[in-house]
């Protein structure tokens, strides 16, 4: 028997340290600093750099990476438990060296990068001296990469890139973009595109605008980028020619689990606020907590969080066990599909139970509800992940050629009678 729901005491000590550090030192940054990714912001650097140094001293920096890259090579269960705490704060992933999309971009650079690419881009990225951007989605369609048209053509020793990308998050702050572009239009659908590392200051890389989502005022952080004869050397390709899909998958597997656990951290925060509020607020002579319809909201939220958390942890455990993402595709997609719903439902209940205050910008709930919609889109819409779950599930089933289902009751009764008729008859005879 190897089922276990406990954390080893040694690692629990680390988690306790992380929890206290995040609450006391990191969460306050969310209220005084603008953008965790803005490595050019002096105030950000003055406050964030010493905290990053402390995390490094504690040997908790970039724990998703192997020791050769300065991490701890933690398995997914440990990473999941850590990320659950980091999810409480916007700045925490940056302080712990595991912020998306840099963490995923670092993973593919580590996996597919040439020694020169690693020297130039990976090391400064790992040190958070620079930030990066993953430039994949196009304005005419994101959920279906087969419709992408951004083209990279080989001219002499250079790749020349033309096309438009959309929602390239942090493009304006980045030092380089990882761009997915069509290199082999005649090849099979999943072998037509390759990945490129494009320094953001390359002539021909134009950020047309930065889109903002939800309640954000002013310029946002999601770049609408046009590549106009953006020219990079031949060796700017990342991974094999035609291998963009394989490279992209390397990036998304573990990241989705970390993201899910960070979401649980946020959902818990909303849940804690909801519980505090209903125990503090009276209406019509009783506490909100005494009203059954309020209790239902608390109970539903608790059950949904616990169910989801267990699914995410089991998925992390399966990744560690099989060490093969193909064997856990269904689990990862299930986590990705459930995540926005749990977040949305709990945040919406928390908003509602806070009454008018909950709907204001003085509380985080409206922002959280909008964020739940980001989660249902970024890294692929929920529907696409549900399709993956269903397809994977159905692989374990077979059709019946019979007119009636295998579990059709008359058929089962008939088979059972055939199996036991003699014994039943003997029993009846013996009793008569
Ligand atoms: C906050 C945020 C950050 C992002 N950051 C990045 C980034 O850094 N880099 C990047 O490249 N992209 C990024 N994206 C883009 C994201 O990956 C796309 O939004 C996503 O892939 C969906 O593409 P789309 O927006 O074009 O929607 P569409 O492809 O137009 O899909 C719209 C809707 O159609 C439905 N739909 C689509 N496909 C199916 C299907 N197969 N079955 C049933 N229904 C379907 C779904 O309801 C879906 O939401 C980000 C998005 C958000 C919201």
- Tell me what the mean pLDDT of segment 33-56 comes to: 97
- Mapped onto helix, strand or coil, the DSSP state of residue 357 is helix
CA 154 – CA 187 distance, rounded (Å): 16
* Amino acid 317: pLDDT: 94
* Amino acid 324: pLDDT: 87
* Amino acid 119: pLDDT: 93
Q: Tens of pLDDT along 21-36?
A: 999 999 999 999 999 9
Ligand 1, atom nearest to 380 Cα = 21
The protein residue whose alpha carbon is closest to atom 45 in ligand 1 is 383
* Amino acid 217: pLDDT: 76
Residue 379 has pLDDT above 90, yes or no: no
Mutate to test the pocket of ligand 1, among 137, 337, 368 (most ligand atoms within 8 A of CB): 137
Percent of the chain past pLDDT 70, that is, above it, reads 99
Ligand 1, atom nearest to 373 Cα = 53
The protein residue whose alpha carbon is closest to atom 52 in ligand 1 is 378
Residue 129 banded pLDDT, cuts 50, 70, 90: very high
- What is the set of domains in the chain, with CATH numbers? 9-113 (1.10.540.10), 132-238 (2.40.110.10), 246-394 (1.20.140.10), 402-432 (no CATH)
Ligand 1, atom nearest to 376 Cα = 49
Mean pLDDT computed over every residue of the chain: 94
Residue 428 has pLDDT above 80, yes or no: yes
Mutate to test the pocket of ligand 1, among 108, 132, 165, 167 (most ligand atoms within 8 A of CB): 167
The protein residue whose alpha carbon is closest to atom 50 in ligand 1 is 378
Pocket of ligand 1, beta carbon within 6 A: 101, 134-137, 141-143, 167-169, 213, 222, 374, 377-381, 383-384, 387
Q: Tens of pLDDT along 286-320?
A: 999 999 999 999 999 999 999 999 999 999 999 99
Q: Name the token pair of 326.
A: 């193909």
More confidently predicted of 20 and 248 = 20
- Tell me what the mean pLDDT of segment 378-387 comes to: 94
The protein residue whose alpha carbon is closest to atom 53 in ligand 1 is 374
* Amino acid 256: pLDDT: 83
Contacts 24+ apart (CB under 8 A), 418-427: none
**How big is the chain, counted in residues?**
432
Query: Among 53-62, 88-97, 155-164, 317-326, which is the least confidently predicted range?
Result: 317-326
CA 419 – CA 411 distance, rounded (Å): 12
Residue of 405, 69, 112 lying closest to 249 (CA atoms) = 112
Q: Tens of pLDDT along 313-355?
A: 999 999 999 988 889 999 999 999 999 999 999 999 999 999 9
Quote the pTM value. 0.92
* Amino acid 257: pLDDT: 86
* Amino acid 252: pLDDT: 62
CA 310 – CA 345 distance, rounded (Å): 18
The protein residue whose alpha carbon is closest to atom 51 in ligand 1 is 378
Residue of 287, 292, 337, 346 lying closest to 311 (CA atoms) = 337
* Amino acid 225: pLDDT: 98
CA 337 to ligand 1 center in whole angstroms? 13
The protein residue whose alpha carbon is closest to atom 48 in ligand 1 is 381
């Amino acid at each position: 028997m190897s089922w276990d729901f406990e954390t080893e005491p040694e690692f629990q000590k680390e988690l306790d340290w992380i929890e206290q550090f995040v609450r006391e030192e990191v969460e306050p940054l969310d209220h005084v600093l603008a953008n965790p990714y803005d490595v050019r912001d002096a105030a950000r650097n003055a406050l964030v750099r010493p905290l990053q140094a402390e995390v490094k001293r504690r040997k908790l920096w970039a724990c998703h990476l192997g020791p050769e890259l300065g991490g701890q090579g933690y398995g997914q269960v440990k990473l999941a438990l850590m990320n659950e705490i980091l999810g409480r704060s916007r700045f925490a992933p940056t302080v712990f060296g595991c912020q998306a999309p840099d963490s995923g971009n670092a993973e593919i650079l580590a996996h597919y990068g040439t020694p020169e690419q690693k020297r130039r881009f990976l090391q400064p990225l790992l040190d958070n001296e620079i930030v990066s951007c993953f430039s994949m989605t196009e304005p005419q369609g994101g959920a279906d990469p087969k419709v992408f048209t951004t083209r990279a053509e080989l001219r002499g020793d250079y790749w020349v890139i033309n096309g438009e990308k959309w929602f390239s998050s942090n493009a304006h702050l980045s030092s380089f973009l990882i761009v997915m572009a069509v290199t082999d239009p005649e090849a099979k659908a999943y072998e037509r595109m390759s990945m490129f590392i494009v320094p953001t200051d390359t002539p021909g890389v134009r950020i047309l605008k930065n889109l903002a989502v939800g309640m954000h005022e002013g310029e946002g952080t999601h770049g609408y980028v046009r590549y106009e004869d953006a020219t990079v050397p031949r060796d700017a390709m990342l991974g094999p020619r035609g291998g963009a899909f394989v490279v992209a998958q390397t990036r998304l597997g573990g990241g989705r689990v970390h993201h899910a656990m960070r979401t649980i951290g946020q959902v818990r925060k909303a849940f804690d606020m909801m519980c505090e509020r209903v125990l503090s607020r009276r209406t019509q002579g009783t506490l909100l907590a005494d009203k059954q319809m309020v209790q239902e909201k608390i109970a539903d939220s608790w059950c949904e969080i616990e169910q989801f958390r267990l699914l995410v942890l089991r998925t992390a455990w399966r990744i560690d066990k099989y060490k093969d993402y193909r064997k856990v595709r269904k689990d990862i997609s299930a986590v990705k599909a459930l995540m926005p719903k749990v977040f949305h439902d709990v945040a919406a209940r928390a908003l509602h139970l806070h009454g008018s205050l909950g709907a204001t910008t003085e509380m985080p709930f409206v922002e959280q509800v909008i964020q739940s919609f980001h989660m249902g889109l970024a890294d692929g819409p929920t529907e696409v992940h549900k399709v993956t779950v269903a397809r994977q599930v159905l692989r374990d089933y077979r059709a019946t050629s019979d007119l009636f289902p295998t579990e059709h009751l008359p058929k089962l009764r008939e088979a059972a009678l055939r199996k036991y008729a003699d014994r039943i008859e003997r029993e009846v005879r013996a009793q008569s």
